[in-house]
Structure 1
Amino acid sequence: MADHATPNPDRYFVPAPSAWPFALTVALVAILGGVSSYLEDKHIGPLPIYAGGALLVYILFRWFRGVALESEGGFYGAQVDRTYRWSMAWFIFSEVMFFGAFFGALYYARHLSLPWLGGEGSKIETNLQLWPGFENAWPTNGPAKLNGDFDTIPAFDVPFVNTLLLLTSGVTLTFAHHALKAGKRTQTILWMWATVALGCAFLFLQAEEYMHAYGDLNLKLASGIYGSTFFMLTGFHGMHVTLGTIMLLVITLRLMSGHFKPDSHFGFEGVAWYWHFVDVVWIGLFIVVYWL
């Protein structure tokens, strides 16, 4: 809970002890316990997932609201601002490593594992004993033909439209940032609503793409290594876009409430950093997963 004493921007602000971290841990344990029991066919009902999710939303709202009030109340000085900037930078770095692991798995499967299974570089040709007749071709559902044959999604269809949407959203967000620094709040809000709308459009089209893949193309998470890497990469990216869109919406509502100043708005900048990171990851996905 915030210590709402008289603000002193020259002193490093330390909030009072809070129960929110403990409560958030309880919510996350409930969600993970419910999901793991479902995946292991030990389903104890959806109550832990729903209860944990509801508690999570409540905690985040109250916790972030307190941080916003501290910021707008003038409690944060230059050192706190630097702390937030370093924290956000390291968080984004951890996200780079997260996606790097999945891109690495895709590279290993496509450029190392498949050639080996096809006999490339093999001196004893064990592939002939293990998987006779297997050909090194991408995309593949593996030698075992898991989930049967499937079709892929053309790059210059919905994925290309989604690429344009995300790139455009990066532009509108940049326009909003410049308008905020210029003190043009109305323009900032309008550009932010445009960015939120573009994020929602992306998510809608990706949901349509998933339904098309499952219903018409037989492309599923169980479709061998291609299906696994495709849905893991695009699915986690979609989750990040969802979180980013929620963050953009919150920032927009805060702008409408009079929050942020032209010379003090790291809450806005932090979300902008995150959104641009999501844009860059999608460009990599479009090239590596859909196009090549």
Structure 2
Amino acid sequence: MSSQHVTAPDYFVPGPSKWPVLTGASLLLTMVGASAWVNDLAWGPYANIAGILCVLVILYNWFGESIAESEGGLYSKRIDISYRWSMSWFIFSEVMFFAAFFGALFYARAITLPWLGDLDHKVLWPDFNAVWGSVGPAGVVESFKTMGPFPIPTINTALLLTSGATLTIAHHALKENKRTQTAIWLFATILLGVTFMGFQVFEYMHAYSELNLKLTSGIYGSTFFMLTGFHGFHVTMGAIMLSVVLYRVLKGHFTPEHHFAFEGAAWYWHFVDVVWLGLYVVVYWL
């Protein structure tokens, strides 16, 4: 938030906005296009891409308006608190999102797999081996190799942990009004995140080409790519958020006392770090 924070009204109520309804329509177009795409309709990819582009344009303009309101001194302490609550609930929803996928992984490994391998099912599938990473009891999944923790997942863990440290250093620099140091450490955080994504792309290429591990490789493949893929998507979103914050730091938008945009993006990034630690242990080690 800007240095004009102290001159803000008691509570700012924005006027009528076109962005919510446009966002809803764009998201609807995105999902309709995606549904058509997976059903092999020719217009599906174009509708999906058009919807995504519309969402991006809307977010650019909508967030631009919010930034202008903040820099115009319209946001009081009450607005700051409402933003903090909103970001907290958003991150909580993301926690529940990943909890669903971790829950699916737990159910498959701790409940379904032993059940399929018990004595009662030996009659149906005598050759089935109830070991995680199996091709399933029906023999319809191609053979594949599982993904271990070395070297790329461990390197990525070091990258994300380091990025959490660099982001914390940037935050302390901002609170001390050291803008150059803030920008440098924030850029380092973004660079570490981009490097993480580069390694993950390489890991996926390795999985498909050398391990024959695909999204269709049974429950192991589906849970592996859903968990790591959605986490990679969140890393990408976090890097974009931090890039916007870096741009605003360079523009001089924040003060040591008022910089919730920085803090909100940092909360999100640290959340992504914590999710990766759980994913690293459960998916790659266990």
The answer, yes or no, to whether TM exceeds 0.5 is yes
Q: Secondary structure at the match of 2:107?
A: helix
Distance 2:224 2:140 in 1: 15
Does the 8 Å CA contact 2:146/2:213 hold for their aligned counterparts?
A: yes
Distance 2:140 2:100 in 1: 23
Q: Please say which of residues 281-290 and 134-143 is displaced more in the overlay.
A: 134-143
| Residue in structure 2 matched with residue 200 of structure 1 by the alignment | 194
Q: Secondary structure at the match of 1:27?
A: helix
Does the 8 Å CA contact 2:35/2:44 hold for their aligned counterparts?
A: no
Distance 1:68 1:229 in 2: 38
Q: Could you tell me how far 1:218 is from its partner in structure 2?
A: 0.3
Query: Normalising by the residue count of structure 2, what TM-score does the alignment of the two structures yield?
Result: 0.95
Does the 8 Å CA contact 1:158/1:205 hold for their aligned counterparts?
A: yes
Residues 213-238 of structure 1, C-alpha deviations (whole Å, 9 max, x = no match): 01111000000010010001000000
Residues 174-205 of structure 1, C-alpha deviations (whole Å, 9 max, x = no match): 00000000010000000010001000000000
Query: Normalising by the residue count of structure 1, what TM-score does the alignment of the two structures yield?
Result: 0.93
| Residue in structure 2 matched with residue 54 of structure 1 by the alignment | 53
| Residue in structure 2 matched with residue 214 of structure 1 by the alignment | 208
Does the 8 Å CA contact 1:146/1:222 hold for their aligned counterparts?
A: no
| Residue in structure 1 matched with residue 265 of structure 2 by the alignment | 271
Please say if 1:160 is aligned against 2:159: no
Q: Could you tell me how far 1:108 is from its partner in structure 2?
A: 0.6
Distance 1:252 1:186 in 2: 11
Please say if 1:173 is aligned against 2:167: yes
| Residue in structure 1 matched with residue 3 of structure 2 by the alignment | none
Q: Could you tell me how far 1:41 is from its partner in structure 2?
A: 2.5
Q: Could you tell me how far 1:10 is from its partner in structure 2?
A: 4.1
Residues 79-135 of structure 1, C-alpha deviations (whole Å, 9 max, x = no match): 11110111111111111111001001101100111111111xx6xx1x134322212
Distance 2:125 2:68 in 1: 63
| Residue in structure 1 matched with residue 64 of structure 2 by the alignment | 65
| Residue in structure 2 matched with residue 132 of structure 1 by the alignment | 126
Residues 217-266 of structure 1, C-alpha deviations (whole Å, 9 max, x = no match): 10000000100100010000001001001001110011111111100000
Q: Secondary structure at the match of 2:122?
A: helix
Distance 2:85 2:102 in 1: 25
Q: Could you tell me how far 1:279 is from its partner in structure 2?
A: 0.1
Does the 8 Å CA contact 2:224/2:283 hold for their aligned counterparts?
A: yes
Amino acid in structure 2 at the alignment position of 1:34: G
Q: Could you tell me how far 1:27 is from its partner in structure 2?
A: 1.2
| Residue in structure 2 matched with residue 225 of structure 1 by the alignment | 219
| Residue in structure 2 matched with residue 191 of structure 1 by the alignment | 185
Distance 2:260 2:51 in 1: 30
| Residue in structure 2 matched with residue 253 of structure 1 by the alignment | 247
Does the 8 Å CA contact 1:244/1:274 hold for their aligned counterparts?
A: yes
Does the 8 Å CA contact 2:9/2:74 hold for their aligned counterparts?
A: no
Distance 1:14 1:215 in 2: 54
Q: Secondary structure at the match of 2:8?
A: coil
Q: Please say which of residues 10-19 and 200-209 is displaced more in the overlay.
A: 10-19
Distance 2:74 2:241 in 1: 22
Does the 8 Å CA contact 1:181/1:262 hold for their aligned counterparts?
A: yes
Q: Could you tell me how far 1:13 is from its partner in structure 2?
A: 0.5
Does the 8 Å CA contact 2:159/2:193 hold for their aligned counterparts?
A: yes
Gaps of 5+ in 1: 1-6
Does the 8 Å CA contact 1:114/1:136 hold for their aligned counterparts?
A: yes
Instruction: Give the paired residue count.
Output: 281
Does the 8 Å CA contact 1:72/1:260 hold for their aligned counterparts?
A: no
Q: Could you tell me how far 1:42 is from its partner in structure 2?
A: 2.9
Q: Could you tell me how far 1:283 is from its partner in structure 2?
A: 0.3
Distance 2:44 2:104 in 1: 34
Does the 8 Å CA contact 2:33/2:43 hold for their aligned counterparts?
A: yes
Distance 1:94 1:207 in 2: 26
| Residue in structure 2 matched with residue 86 of structure 1 by the alignment | 85
Distance 1:197 1:140 in 2: 37
Q: Secondary structure at the match of 2:15?
A: coil
Residues 24-54 of structure 1, C-alpha deviations (whole Å, 9 max, x = no match): 1121111111110111223324321222122
**Residues 146 and 205 (structure 1), Cα distance of their counterparts in 2 relative to 1, 3 Å cut:** farther
| Residue in structure 1 matched with residue 103 of structure 2 by the alignment | 104
